[in-house]
Structure 1
Amino acid sequence: MYQDDSPLFVISVAAELAGMHPQTLRQYDRLGLVSPSRARGRGRRYSARDIAQLREVQRLSQEDGVNLAGIKRILDLENQVLALGQRVEDLETEIALVRQQARRIFAAGMAGDIVATPMGRRPESQRSTALVVWRPDRSR
């Protein structure tokens, strides 16, 4: 099975799949609307995602009457939204990790070792001799 981003199609096949002339695909590549991968001989290789984007460009142009500059701006903004959405997911994961770590305290045993342990519990190995040396600031 292939991925959506796998470069599979030469320009003639991609043009047929998208319902366009190959020269139109070349123009869209020059304008940066759809940027296919390149083979070793510098030939364009289009992915399933590229084909879908070509169809979207055609729809915006023909059905909605958007010019190519407007289409480029729309695609750039959509890509920016996707990137920001991924950044939000990354930050949410990071926040969850920080919150998880904030629920721990650090204790030092008689041997000088430092152990992270859940709040409200002393380290198992040195239950009676452990000393709490740091707690996270809960005011934030």
Structure 2
Amino acid sequence: MSGGAHGMDEHAPIFVISAAAELAGMHPQTLRQYDRLGLVEPQRTPGKSRRYSMRDVLQLREIAELSAAGVSLEGIRRILELENRVNVLARRVHELEGALADEMLNRPGRRVFAAGAEGDVISLKAGTRVRRSNAVVVWRPLGNGERH
């Protein structure tokens, strides 16, 4: 996924730990701790050195903000996990909306589905409606201890 005006890939592992720490306003040892805890998982070179992406740096800044607000490291881990899950689901919804729109545009005589009176699924041609009963039902509560 590319980002920025210059087409830089925000996931490209380009920063050594000292540069990432400086960009995030943290000490390199803090980045090592966050890596051990799984809060930020930088990529590794063949020599096992950490390489951080711009996305990692942004996540480190978010961790710093949450920490400054008094959120525990476990709370931060959970927040990041949920944010990542929301992002994945939002992308999936976007894909499915696109697929649905394509399907609706590319299908002449497409069908619509509705719920029948008994809860069953009814297939209808586009532009038609379900026939509904027009019967009137009158309900009269039992009163004064009467039983029927």
- Rounded to whole Å, the distance in 1 between the matches of 2:48 and 2:111 is 57
Task: Establish whether residue 16 from structure 1 lines up as the match of residue 26 from structure 2.
Answer: no
Percent identity among equivalent residues?
56
Amino acid at match of 1:28: Y
> How much does 1:88 deviate?
0.4
Q: What is the aligned residue count?
A: 108
Q: Is the 8 A contact 2:104 2:110 kept in 1?
A: no
Amino acid at match of 1:76: E
Higher relative contact order (CA 8 A, sep 6+): 1
TM-score (norm 2): 0.68
Task: Establish whether residue 49 from structure 1 lines up as the match of residue 55 from structure 2.
Answer: yes
Post-superposition Cα deviations, 1:60-114, rounded to whole Å, max 9, x if no partner, equal 001x1000000000001111111010000110111112212322xxxxxxxxxxx
Structure 1 partner of 2:82: 77
Structure 2 partner of 1:32: 38
Q: Is the 8 A contact 2:13 2:53 kept in 1?
A: yes
Q: Is the 8 A contact 2:16 2:51 kept in 1?
A: yes
Post-superposition Cα deviations, 1:95-135, rounded to whole Å, max 9, x if no partner, equal 112212322xxxxxxxxxxxxxxxxxxxxxxxxxxxxxxx6
Amino acid at match of 1:90: E
- Gaps in structure 2 of 5+ consecutive residues: 1-5, 113-122, 125-148
Q: Over aligned residue pairs, what C-alpha RMSD do you find?
A: 1.4
Correspondence list, 1:1-140, <5 A: 1=6, 2-62=8-68, 64-103=69-108, 136-138=110-112, 139=123
Amino acid at match of 1:65: G
Amino acid at match of 2:61: R
TM-score (norm 1): 0.72
